[in-house]
């Protein structure tokens, strides 16, 4: 049988992260002592009070369809979060709850982009953005950055890339995979250009709360009514509440865009899981005291890993100001990122993600959402590996 695969599906790049991950898992299953730096999720458990709220809803029979865009209680809790933490006013009707922040991103791109449109994506990028743009039939346009600018696009770079076909600019700060954070001034400047050129901004703020060294973020939507009108904020509970498996994300958008996204979602997934949404209400409205504890732990690991990486011959690493990733430069080892990660896994049993997956082949991504003991063990193996390469 000759199966015809649609152009859309066939155009997608297979996930390199998954290939490394499945190899690491197979080695672990075979009893090998693998250290994993691949995790894209917190290593902490979901706080108990959030689990309790969902369990209670489940036991009480809250198991039926909800409105496609989410239960009113959760949309109100999200609107209250934007008011309280960001000084942004959204009506519940401008908020859509989706099945994860990833799903929110996909909905935004699907509802705003089509054939002939260009979407500006700074690299290193979260690996799903370009693929989502292709699924929508639009064209990803990559704005390459390096560690010399701490992986941030400059206003000149953004301005030069805008054409009459530019529809959307994707901003992700703090960033996955680099951990870089735009200052409020830098964010405003990029926003000013998008307003001037009438380009929409999808601002992925999922790592908003994971900040270090006194870094501050300000949502691009918050600088003026015009910025607000040009911005769709994508967010979720996965990272700050360690709820990756719950599949709960949300977005805030100008009313007509929210309406279009609601229509898309109502014909694809319908509502996110009913009782998970009750957990989401508790996450946003309940105590937030887990966060400083987690942040202190991430920060300790980040400081250790950053210093250690820079002491290893052949590696240099700018420090991350947010999220839970470091993105060291491996170019002096003479290997590209796929070779580096494949050999590292084979020879030293350390799993890392090749930068090529994020559009940056001179780097690898290391997640420090893993224990200090693992970080120490894994980095000393990387040290041994690099010493043999660089000499």
Ligand X SMILES: *Cc1c(COP(=O)(O)O)cnc(C)c1O
Binding residues for ligand X, rule: CB under 6 A, are 40, 100-102, 126, 172, 176, 204, 206, 236, 238-239, 244, 249
Q: Which is nearer to ligand X, 278 or 349 (CB)?
A: 278
Residue with tokens 């973020």: 217
Instruction: Please identify, using beta-carbon distances, which residue of 103 and 308 lies nearer to ligand X.
Output: 103
The nearer residue to ligand X, 71 or 195, going by C-beta atoms, is 71
Smallest distance from the beta carbon of 100 to ligand X, in angstroms? 3
Compute the distance between CA of residue 290 and CA of residue 210 in angstroms, rounded to an integer. 12
Question: Which residue number, 206 or 312, has a Cβ lying nearer to ligand X?
Answer: 206
Which CB, 218 or 239, lies closer to ligand X? 239
Instruction: Convert the chain into a string of H (helix), E (strand) and C (coil).
Output: CCCCCCHHHHCCCCCHHHHHHHHHHHHHHCCCCCEECCCCCCCCCCCHHHHHHHHHHHHCCCCCCCCCCCCHHHHHHHHHHHHHHHCCCCCHHHEEEECCHHHHHHHHHHHHCCCCCEEEEEECCCCHHHHHHHHCCCEEEEEECCHHHCCCCCHHHHHHHCCCCEEEEEEECCCCCCCCCCCHHHHHHHHHHHHHHCCEEEEECCCCCCECCCCCCCCHHHCCHHHHHHEEEEEECCCCCCCHHHCCEEEECCHHHHHHHHHHHHCCCCCCCHHHHHHHHHHHHCCCCHHHHHHHHHHHHHHHHHHHHHCCCCCECCCCCECCEECCECHHHCCCHHHHHHHHHHHHCEECEEHHHHCCCCEEEEECCCCHHHHHHHHHHHHHHHHHHHC
Quote the least distance from Cβ 341 to ligand X, whole Å. 19
Residue with Cβ nearer ligand X (126 or 182): 126
Of 97 and 351, the one with the shorter C-beta distance to ligand X is: 97
**Smallest distance, ligand X to C-beta of residue 20, A:** 17
Residue 177 Cβ vs ligand X, minimum distance, rounded to whole Å: 8
Residue 359 beta carbon to ligand X: minimum distance, rounded to whole angstroms: 14
Rounded to a whole number of angstroms, the minimum distance from the CB of residue 357 to ligand X is 13
Closer residue to ligand X, CB minimum distance, 241 or 340: 241
Q: How far is the CB of 101 from ligand X (least distance, A)?
A: 3
Q: Shortest gap between Cβ of 273 and ligand X (angstroms)?
A: 13
């Amino acid at each position: 049988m000759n199966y015809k695969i649609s152009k859309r599906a066939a155009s997608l790049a297979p996930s390199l992260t998954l290939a490394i991950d499945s190899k690491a898992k197979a080695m672990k299953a075979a009893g090998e002592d693998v250290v994993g730096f691949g995790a894209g999720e917190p290593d902490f458990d979901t706080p108990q009070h959030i689990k309790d709220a969902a369990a209670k809803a489940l036991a009480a029979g809250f198991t039926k369809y909800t409105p496609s865009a989410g239960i009113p209680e959760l949309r109100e809790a999200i609107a209250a979060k934007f008011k309280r933490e960001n000084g942004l006013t959204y009506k519940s009707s401008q908020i859509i709850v989706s099945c994860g922040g990833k799903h929110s991103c996909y909905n935004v791109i699907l509802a705003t982009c089509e054939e002939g449109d260009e979407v500006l994506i700074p690299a290193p990028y979260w690996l799903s953005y370009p693929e989502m743009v292709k699924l929508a039939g639009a064209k990803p346009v990559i704005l390459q950055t390096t560690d010399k600018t701490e992986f941030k696009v400059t206003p000149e770079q953004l301005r030069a890339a805008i054409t009459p076909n530019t529809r959307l600019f994707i901003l992700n700060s703090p960033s996955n995979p680099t951990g870089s954070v735009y200052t409020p001034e830098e964010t405003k400047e990029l926003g000013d250009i998008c307003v001037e050129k009438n380009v929409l901004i999808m601002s992925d703020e999922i790592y908003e709360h994971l900040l270090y060294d006194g870094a501050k973020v300000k949502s691009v939507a918050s600088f003026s009514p015009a910025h607000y009108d040009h911005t769709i904020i994508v967010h979720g509970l996965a990272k700050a509440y360690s709820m990756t498996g719950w599949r709960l994300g949300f977005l805030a958008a100008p009313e007509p865009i929210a309406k279009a996204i609601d229509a898309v979602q109502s014909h694809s997934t319908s509502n996110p899981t009913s009782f998970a949404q009750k957990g989401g209400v508790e996450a946003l409205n309940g105590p937030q005291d887990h966060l400083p504890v987690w942040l202190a732990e991430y920060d300790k690991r980040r400081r250790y890993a950053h210093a250690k990486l820079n002491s290893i011959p052949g590696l240099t690493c700018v420090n991350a100001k947010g999220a839970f990733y470091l993105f060291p430069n491996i170019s002096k080892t003479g290997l590209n990122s796929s070779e580096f990660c494949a050999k590292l896994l084979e020879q030293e049993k350390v799993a890392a993600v090749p930068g090529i997956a994020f559009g940056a082949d001179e780097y690898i991504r290391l997640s420090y959402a893993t224990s200090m003991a693992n970080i120490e063990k894994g980095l000393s193996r990387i040290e041994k590996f690099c010493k043999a390469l660089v000499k």
